[in-house]
């Protein structure tokens, strides 16, 4: 089998296509959650905390120095506010995935419970019960 044919077989498998769809939907869902956190959740929290914009919070290690145009020094800062926003986004995404997996598990469990036992399992159970009944006590 040629490499091109092997690649075509690999790429057209259902799992690869499902993964590609999941990545695209996941990217779009990430943008929705980012917007939710940045435009809906964080403004009221900032208002409650006295107008603090979390995305602008930072710890400046070395301030910028633009006094000499030939030797500009960029600011060095730890931007923990952006990290807080990202952390909130992660928690929301993780919770949404948790709910999705929980729903899928519930549907899968219902399907397993609803399925009657296979005929060979029922037959083997009957044989076992008959053998137990015929054993001398």
Tell me which residue of 34, 86, 84 sits closest to 54, measured CA to CA: 84
Average pLDDT score, the chain: 83
Per-residue pLDDT, averaged over 16-28, amounts to: 85
What topology is assigned to 3-134 in CATH? 1.10.1200
43-94, pLDDT tens digit by residue? 888 888 887 777 888 999 999 888 888 888 888 999 998 898 888 888 888 8
The predicted structure's pLDDT at residue 114: 63
Tell me which residue of 86, 92, 93, 31 sits closest to 54, measured CA to CA: 86
- The pTM (predicted TM-score) of the whole model is 0.55
Q: DSSP class of residue 65?
A: B
Q: Is 90 helix (H, G, I), strand (E, B) or coil?
A: helix
Q: Domains of the chain: which residue ranges? A: 3-134
């Amino acid at each position: 089998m040629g490499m091109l044919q092997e690649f075509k077989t690999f790429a057209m498998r259902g799992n690869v296509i499902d993964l590609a769809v999941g990545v695209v939907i996941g990217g779009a869902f990430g943008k929705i959650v980012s917007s939710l956190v940045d435009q809906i959740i964080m403004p009221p929290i900032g208002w409650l905390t006295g107008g603090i914009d979390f995305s602008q919070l930072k710890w400046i290690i070395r301030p910028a120095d633009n006094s000499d145009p030939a030797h500009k020094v960029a600011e060095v800062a730890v931007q923990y506010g952006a990290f807080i926003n990202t952390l909130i986004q992660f928690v929301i995404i993780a919770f949404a995935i948790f709910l999705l997996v929980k729903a899928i598990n519930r549907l899968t469990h219902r399907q397993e419970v609803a399925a009657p036992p296979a005929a060979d399992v029922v037959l083997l159970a009957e044989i076992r019960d008959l053998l137990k009944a015929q054993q001398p006590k």
